[in-house]
Amino acid sequence: MATVRKLSERKGWAFTFVVAVMRPALTVFSKRNWIDGEKIPATGGCVVVMNHISHIDPLALGHLLLNHGRLVRYLTKQELFETPIVKRIVKNAGQIPVPRLTVDASQAFDAAVEAVEQGQCIGVYPEGTITKDPDGWPMRGKTGAARIALATGCPVVPIGQWGAQDVLPAYSKKPNLFPRRTTSYKVGDPVDLSDLKDKPLTNEVLHEATDRIMAAITSLVEDLRGERAPDERFDPKTAGVQQIGNPNKDRKKRR
């Protein structure tokens, strides 16, 4: 797919390496259906939010953003910064570690705010992990993206996706490369949080903003799937499902 915008940022060795390896692989082994990519801000600090359905999501979203002139800095799990070789790549690429389910997660918020204020594009999966919804719909979101957006006043750009789970199913290590599957991405208009930006960042305000963000993502996914999402978003806590990691592991142990 032709580049829509040229990249003006300096990639550095990590981005250069990942792009050189992964862009040809993604191009060869999957088809892409990119819709309304021009809605991605060409410049300036922003938060891009997307539903999470496969481990290839960060690569696929990075591909979409790169072809629209942006490098993405992810809020990504701390474990990657402790993995040999990988840790050098994510550090050089300016990714932001998130110690999930700990009190230290606030450090990621400070780093993300600083990055947005420097004009960078921050990528956030508001669900915090691959969706646990049995049918793959976006589940209940966490407040990180809303907190960053309200603290900085930057736009929140929602993206809905569908199809990546056909290339690499959730929690699987075996991709389906043939025949080539199509991955679809639809970019929406910025989420309207204007009435919340001058309010204190209370739990009520953050949850209201997060609900709007998840509603925008879900609407885009509905368009791509041609289906209506459940009226109530899946919540791992109330469903008794572990919040992070492969939920099927515990089921196998109980058998």
- Rounded distance, CA 253 to CA 255, Å? 6
Q: Which helix (H) or strand (E) holds 203?
A: helix 203-225
pLDDT digits (tens, 9 = 90+) for 49-77: 999 999 999 999 999 999 999 999 998 77
Residue 140: both structure tokens together: 């209940």
pLDDT digits (tens, 9 = 90+) for 148-175: 999 999 999 999 999 999 999 998 989 9
Range from 34-38, 84-88, 110-114 carrying the lowest mean pLDDT: 84-88
Residues in the chain: 255
pLDDT at 43 over 90: yes
Residue 117: alpha-carbon gap to chain centroid = 20
Burial of 151 (0-12, 13-18, 19+ CB in 10 A): middle
Residue 48: both structure tokens together: 């891009």
pLDDT digits (tens, 9 = 90+) for 199-219: 999 999 999 999 999 999 999
Q: What is the mean pLDDT of residues 230-235?
A: 96
Residue ranges of domains in the chain: 32-170+179-235
Selection from 40, 29, 114 nearest residue 70 by Cα: 40
Task: Select from 3.40.1130.10, 3.30.70.141, 3.40.50.300, 3.40.50.1100 the CATH code of 32-170+179-235.
Answer: 3.40.1130.10
C-alpha angle 176-246-76 in degrees, rounded to nearest 5 = 85
Report pLDDT for 5. Answer: 86
Q: Higher pLDDT residue, 254 or 177? A: 177
pTM above 0.75, yes or no: yes
pLDDT at 195 over 80: yes
pLDDT digits (tens, 9 = 90+) for 106-140: 678 888 999 999 999 999 999 989 999 999 999 99
Q: Which helix (H) or strand (E) holds 75?
A: strand 72-77
